[in-house]
Amino acid sequence: MSRRRIVSNIAKVWMLILLCSSVAYAITFGLFGFIPQPGDFIRYILSETLAFLIFGLTVFLIGRTKNSKRSDVLNTMTDALRQIAKGNFRVKLNAQKLTEQNHPFGKIFDSINHMAEELNRMEQMRQEFISNVSHEIQSPLTSIRGFANALQNDQLSPEARWRYLKIIEKESTRLSKLSENLLKLTSLESANHPFDPKPYRLDKQLRQVILSLEPQWEEKSMEMDISLDELRIVADEDLMNQLWVNLISNSIKFTPEGGCIKIQLRQKGKFAEVILADTGIGIAEEDQAHIFDRFYKADKSRNRSVGGSGLGLAIVKKIIDMHGGKIEVESRLGEGTKMIVTIPCGYEI
């Protein structure tokens, strides 16, 4: 308790004592107007005794009132916690009034409101996640079931049968990839995922990833403009490999035939900077803040045609966060996208 508050409380008690003494003196003065007056000493004793009784009664009544108010506050708080325990996260306590009165429970009310808001946000995310997973699983399953039924037609031509089988294979691969990405993201978000940083050549890793994806960019007759400085970093090589595969695959996926992807690696102080720029379809400004959210798809109509579950960039962001790095996005619709990844080199330079 602060010194100012102690002084204030002492002053309040002193004023209460003076008030009770004044009331007692007035009562005794009026009383002795009707009965014979005793000596000054007796009159003093009676007055002070009455003042003490009035003071005690006043303190009792004030304490009773405060206890009643405190009991109401505790009941309100307990009821709110019970509601939260039952899953009602829309609880909202009126903390402003208590805070303005410097009530000791004001901060507790604020904390309960904050806890309810965070739990409500997490519940909405959980429901959205379940809904998205269900939708992403249901879509390929519906396609597989439909084409499997069509294959039962004996009069189907060999060309149509082959086309349907290829679609079933593609949808099965998509379903498998979704399951794999879900398991990967869940593992990355857990505290038990292995994280084994070791020194290695980042430029060599990027070249290997680009070569492994050659069938994809060759099929679309794309130009790959590569400029990689020799650079060693300390990082988890397997996780970083997943990071580059996801980013470069995304650029290939959303860049039209004959487009260009430019990849640069350079050192900036104690950091490695990788710039991945493409001439793809671009990302709208309002979508750029959400592209690393799970299942987020900036253009659902175009994503439907190129596949994808909306988990690739969420995995990218998690891996970058695990390494203490950052990723920035610069994009304009119809002009392309630039991803700038900054990763600590992991050792003193």
- Read off the pLDDT band of 304 (50, 70, 90): very low
**What is residue 276's predicted lDDT score, i.e. its pLDDT?**
94
- Give how far Cα 302 sits from Cα of 16, 32, 182, Å: 77, 99, 22
Give pLDDT tens digits for 257-277: 999 999 999 999 899 999 999
Radius of gyration of the chain (CA): 37
Q: Which region, left, alpha or beta, applies to residue 261 given φ > 0 means left and ψ of -120 to 50 means alpha? A: beta
Q: Mean per-residue pLDDT for 154-160?
A: 86
Q: Are strands 260-268 and 223-228 parallel, antiparallel or unpaired?
A: parallel
pLDDT score recorded for residue 66 = 57
Q: Which residues partner with 273 through β-bridges?
A: 266, 342
Which of 47-61, 265-279, 292-306 has the highest average model confidence (pLDDT)? 265-279
In this structure, what DSSP letter does residue 310 have? S
Q: Calculate what percentage of the chain has a pLDDT beyond 90.
A: 21
Q: Minimal CA–CA distance to 206: which of 179, 159, 240?
A: 240
pLDDT of residue 283: 85
Mark out the alpha helices in the chain (DSSP H runs): 3-31, 40-85, 95-100, 106-150, 158-189, 202-212, 214-219, 237-253, 300-306, 312-322
Question: Is this model's pTM higher than 0.75 or not?
Answer: no
Model pLDDT, residue 303: 45
DSSP bridge partners of 329: 339
pLDDT at 231 over 90: yes
